[in-house]
Amino acid sequence: MVYLHPVLGLVTLGLLFYAASLGIRARGIRARGRARIRERLLARHAVLAPRVLALATATWVAGAVSTAYLRDDLRWAETTHFRLGAALVSVMVASLVTSRRALAGSENAREVHVWLGVAAILIAAAQAFTGLRITP
């Protein structure tokens, strides 16, 4: 059971990187003739990303429960990994909010959305690193 959360974590991070890559690939497309490819990538990104947010939230809860009940060697809620997890979920919630505003037509929100996404990717990399260090 102690491995449930780390495995869930790996899956979450893998899907997060994939969802991000869809958004970034779409952003790279500027040529008019390829507008449909851009739309398709963004549509897939918009479906996958909120699911990854739900999964990240579940992973966060699973990690906290696992540490509280299964790991006598870790003090609950005192790891850097714990705080980074909270930061990751928060940044993704902000991504969700800004993406809604971007869809409503705000260019500013769209720009902020991309930077929040970049922040999520950096936090996610740190999350894998700190998680592997406390893996049993």
Comparing CA positions, the residue from 131, 100, 124, 98 lying closest to residue 17 is 124
Rounded to the nearest 5 degrees, what angle is found at the Cα of 43, between the Cα atoms of 61 and 84? Answer: 25
Q: Note whether 110 and 74 are within 8 A (CB).
A: no
Supply the minimum distance, in Å, between the C-beta of residue 125 and ligand HEM: 10
Q: Note whether 109 and 116 are within 8 A (CB).
A: no
Supply the minimum distance, in Å, between the C-beta of residue 99 and ligand HEM: 3
Q: What are phi and psi of 39, to 5 degrees?
A: -60, -40
Supply the minimum distance, in Å, between the C-beta of residue 88 and ligand HEM: 5
What binding mask, one character per residue, do residues 39-78 give for ligand HEM by CB under 6 A, x or -? ---x--xx--xx--x--x--xx--xx-xx---x--x-xxx
> Would you say how long the chain is, in residues?
136
**Contacts with ligand HEM, residue ranges (CB under 6 A):** 2, 5-6, 9-10, 12-13, 20, 23-24, 26-27, 42, 45-46, 49-50, 53, 56, 59-60, 63-64, 66-67, 71, 74, 76-79, 81-82, 85, 88-89, 92, 95-96, 99, 102-103, 110, 113-114, 117-118, 120-121, 127-128, 131-132, 134-136
